[in-house]
Amino acid sequence: MKRWLSLTVSILALAAVPMTVSAGPDSVHYGPISSGTPDSGTCGNSWADDTYMRVFDAATSPNTDSTYNATETFISARFVTVAGPSPDACDPSGTKGSTIDSGVAGSFSGNFMIVVSHGAFNPNATCDSGCDTTKGFVATVYGAAATYDIPSFGFTYHANGPGLIQREWRNASADQGGNGGDIRTS
């Protein structure tokens, strides 16, 4: 029994420490990194407060156009809503004027496909600090002068609770199916 307890404690301790390990011959894996941000909906408002772990897979070699690809995956992700317009209230295909009450909790998962320009992979970079945002990660791993775009992204949100009319929202770029559904109370 003590062995299993020691093993469990060791695994949990390792999970709490940001790690840099090789993800393949042409990429490096960073994370998980604890983070959180307000989450914006289609009206531009913050509809929820998010907490999650970030995991990055960073290309070590540039593409033929000198850009680098990276993937940012959001895991162990949770949200709690803020009262106001629901996340899909201003999408042309959404229900106009829909709202969400505060305090609705749920989970989500998703990722960003990142294209980094004007940078160079730093093989000595670590994410012990500074990688709790996409911008911080890019600056840490590809240099302070690096810029980035997120041409592709996809997130799926699930909520449960009384009074919900819709319980699932997909926030995605067009190449990943676009937005759909909602999390709303009216």
How do residues 118-148 score in pLDDT, each as one tens digit? 999 999 999 988 899 999 999 999 999 999 9
The string of DSSP codes covering 8-35 is HHHHHHHHHS--EEEEETTEEEEEEEEE
| 73 touches 52 (CB < 8 A) | no
Q: What burial letters (b/e) apply to 148-164, b meaning 16+ CB within 10 Å?
A: beeebbbbebebeeeeb
pTM over cut 0.75:
yes
92 pLDDT tier (thresholds 50, 70, 90): confident
If one compares 49 and 129, the residue with the highest pLDDT of the two is: 49
Has residue 24 got a pLDDT over 50? Answer: no
Residue keyed to tokens 């840099």: 20
Has residue 57 got a pLDDT over 50? Answer: yes
Residue 18's pLDDT is 42
Cα(115)–Cα(150) distance, integer angstroms = 6
Cα(130)–Cα(3) distance, integer angstroms = 35
| 99 touches 141 (CB < 8 A) | no
